[in-house]
Structure 1
């Protein structure tokens, strides 16, 4: 096998000569306006079809978990909700990279997105719940987005009752969106003994 030789440049050719003028060139930026945006006090109009927050059509979602399988950041967790026959995706924005692979792979088009992109908090414990949510239906999200046009998250605050496992979204238009979480994963959660007894009693009454 033929040996390969590499030529190494001399240090005198690579090393840059000191300059006394370049450090002072930064002064010209003192008289220019900043290019950064003061979030959340300033906003910019996003481009059309900008990949922002997710929406979910609860009626057409079949709980196939294709979105969870393709997510490179493992930001999606299937969630069983009371009254729903199939689990729905819950998205963690602490992990999400907004690549929207999940939207592209959704076989029924139930998972979508809108242009809203702003989610800022003061990092209080109760505010961090906003980063982990089951998306609301697209028509409701777009209604809030068009009303405010500030591209912010549609939920002002969330409440989670640990005992009843009920979640309440306090939306920006003053309405509430409620549901109860039964469990997580692809398999249906096992019923608790108390719930089994109630189900048995109800079937006995029907008979």
Structure 2
């Protein structure tokens, strides 16, 4: 009998604790998450991934050499990166090829960012990538170069209990 009573008390205590916690519900798309910090990056000198969000990729054309390491890293996972010809040539990219990412296939694992030794790719906070057609999910090198404009309204506070509104 004492085991049953202590179980009931534990259950009630757990329920009462959550009555005072503010709910975490966003009215999307009017309210959006506010992310603090940069996107996911990789530091090849230390061999460590720098924590960050894994959203849309950003490509720095002036750093890309067309080495295809990002496409090779993606090959066994999602096969979302293909190398395409670009009209202009860069001093460091004589082949004039750069990555094109199909977000219909991408699993946002970050291995392409890890594989790039020239800091040409990193992942941004832009998580809104929906589209009506599959073709619109294919981002060309020119589209990947554009810095995302993420409207960040709602501030999120993360503590030991989880995420809540600030």
- Per the TM superposition, whether the score is higher than 0.5 is yes
Equivalent position of 1:61 in the other structure: 64
Q: How does 1:4-153 map to 2 (within 5 A)?
A: 37-46=26-35, 48=37, 49-71=52-74, 72-84=77-89, 85=94, 86-121=96-131, 123=132, 125=133, 128-134=134-140, 135-137=143-145, 140-141=146-147, 144-145=149-150, 148-149=151-152
**Residue pair 1:40, 1:118 contacting (<8 A) in 2 also:** no
- What count of residue pairs does the alignment treat as equivalent? 109
C-alpha displacement of 1:149: 3.0
C-alpha displacement of 1:92: 0.5
Which entry has the higher C-alpha Rg, 1 or 2?
1
**Residue pair 1:76, 1:91 contacting (<8 A) in 2 also:** yes
C-alpha displacement of 1:119: 1.8
SS of alignment partner, residue 136 of structure 1? helix
CA distance in 2, matches of 1:80, 1:61: 13
Residues 113/38 of structure 1: CA separation in 2 closer, same or farther (3 Å cut): same
RMSD: 2.4
Q: With structure 2 as the length reference, what TM-score do the two structures score? A: 0.56
Which sections of structure 2, spanning at least 5 residues, go unmatched? 1-21, 38-51, 154-166
Which is helix-richer, 1 or 2? 1
Residues 92/100 of structure 1: CA separation in 2 closer, same or farther (3 Å cut): same
Q: 1:11-59: per-residue Cα shift (whole Å, max 9, x none)?
A: xxxxxxxxxxxxxxxxxxxxxx986655434311235321111000111
Q: How does 1:172-183 map to 2 (within 5 A)?
A: none
**Residue pair 2:104, 2:137 contacting (<8 A) in 1 also:** yes
Q: 1:64-101: per-residue Cα shift (whole Å, max 9, x none)?
A: 11111111100001010111232100000001011111
Relative contact order, CA 8 A, sep 6+: which one is greater?
2
Which sections of structure 1, spanning at least 5 residues, go unmatched? 1-32, 151-207
